[in-house]
Amino acid sequence: MRSSTPVPPAVRGWCPSLAEPLASRDGWLVRLPVGCRPVSSDQWRVVATLAETRGNGLVEITRRGNLQVRGLAVRHLDRTAELLAGAGLANRNPAADGQRAVVCDPLLDIGASPDRASARREVVRRLEQLVVDLGDGLPAKWWAVVDGGGPWPVPTSSADVAVVDHGSSWQVRVAGAVVASAGDPLAILHAVAAVIRRCADAGCRARDLPGVADGWGPMRSEPVEREAWWGIRKVGDRAVAPGAPPLGVATADALHLLARVAEGPVSVRPEPGRGVLLVASGEEAADAGAAELAGTLEQLAAVGWVVSPRDPRRWVSACIGSQGCPSALVDTHALARARLADTRGRRLHISGCPKRCGAPPGVRELVATPDGLHVEEVG
């Protein structure tokens, strides 16, 4: 499968799934649409065991809080799909899987206004159902987000639809512009359903619908609080801490560690920074939860994860590059390691070719092209 000549990048227009795995340079890849939801101990263990026994031992955490198992051999694909579907991590029938298109705030159940958590969960449930009921015809890249208005937001500007809880009101954003606002979450879901219908009928992304956001102002800029937050912090009455594998790629060993952590009073949730959020459970007082999380962060640091604000690796991200992508022109991960000293507190993303998959908005970017490396300074 390895080729020394990069394959020109193409816009696929679909996302890898259990039903449609993607052939990549390091083997087959399946994406699990976790969408920042909590992953249980048993589920982490299934993913870790599959990665080490049927894949190449590496699992990526994506910018939408999904998991990607890499390096699967073709003979393992059927059994892998069976095990992952059995663990509740994905559905073998994408048409019946509303979760595939809906990403949640990882702190949906706590975050701002914890008393509204059940309403937020209900919005997620109904939105998933709308995708199943109305979504036949939606482009594969179409996605929606439910944000709880807390301190760890999911970026909404590239989402087709975002439902945001502002504490006293709910807002619907379509392709980055506010299109509806109401005090009743179920009232705004009518606006969401209308957008899903129009996108499904036209087979297009929301940004390509004519006049969808006319008459409404652009949304406020994305909160960036999570960029600055490292270490343990109280959110409501819970202790919360982030941790991330280097460049968003976790080893099976680290995932087994997460499985052990999630056996105890800690919930482990993938998050949009390509890491996880550790949330001490509600039975623990925040101080006891913080002590629990401090021990967990030490264990993650021991397996090479980024857990400290002083770690320069927190400023660098990269696509998989030549380790896994047939279109890559460079080893992006080696470049990222070599450029750590250059970041000086500014975010840098490295793309292995001009397709720039998963490049975060608004960061300095190093893009490999056939003519060499180009620096893109984004505002």
Q: Quick check: 58 binds ligand SF4 (CB under 6 A)?
A: no
Q: Quick check: 348 binds ligand SF4 (CB under 6 A)?
A: no
Q: In the range 136-165, which residues lie near ligand SF4 by CB under 6 A?
A: none
Given candidates 29, 352, 365, 366, which one binds ligand SF4 under the rule CB under 6 A?
352
Q: Quick check: 274 binds ligand SF4 (CB under 6 A)?
A: no
Q: Quick check: 327 binds ligand SF4 (CB under 6 A)?
A: yes
- From the CB of 105, what's the least distance to ligand SF4, in Å? 26
Give the separation between CA 361 and CA 130, rounded to whole angstroms. Answer: 28
Q: Quick check: 29 binds ligand SF4 (CB under 6 A)?
A: no
- From the CB of 319, what's the least distance to ligand SF4, in Å? 3
Nearer to ligand SF4, 91 or 332 (CB): 332
Q: Quick check: 356 binds ligand SF4 (CB under 6 A)?
A: yes
First to last CA, the chain: 39
Q: Quick check: 355 binds ligand SF4 (CB under 6 A)?
A: yes
- The DSSP secondary structure of 137-168, one letter per residue, reads T--TT--EEEE-SSSSPPP-TT-SEEEEE-SS
Q: Quick check: 27 binds ligand SF4 (CB under 6 A)?
A: no
The residue type at 214: D
Compute CA distances 293 → 264, 273, 300, 308, whole Å.
11, 19, 10, 13
- The DSSP secondary structure of 205-273, one letter per residue, reads -GGGSTTTTTTSPBPPPPP-HHHH--S-EEETTEEEEEEB-GGGEEEHHHHHHHHHHHHTTEEEEEETT
The pair of three-digit structure tokens given for residue 151, joined into one six-digit string: 């301190």
- List of residues 6+ apart from 218 with CB closer than 8 A: 176, 177, 178
Q: Quick check: 335 binds ligand SF4 (CB under 6 A)?
A: no
Q: Quick check: 336 binds ligand SF4 (CB under 6 A)?
A: no
How many of the chain's residues bind ligand SF4 (CB under 6 A)?
13
Compute CA distances 283 → 30, 116, 258, 266, whole Å.
35, 19, 20, 10
Given candidates 280, 300, 320, 335, which one binds ligand SF4 under the rule CB under 6 A?
320
Nearer to ligand SF4, 21 or 352 (CB): 352
Q: Quick check: 248 binds ligand SF4 (CB under 6 A)?
A: no
Q: Quick check: 70 binds ligand SF4 (CB under 6 A)?
A: no
Q: Quick check: 68 binds ligand SF4 (CB under 6 A)?
A: no
Give the separation between CA 351 and CA 367, rounded to whole angstroms. Answer: 5
| Contact set with ligand SF4 (CB under 6 A) | 9, 319-321, 325, 327-328, 351-353, 355-357
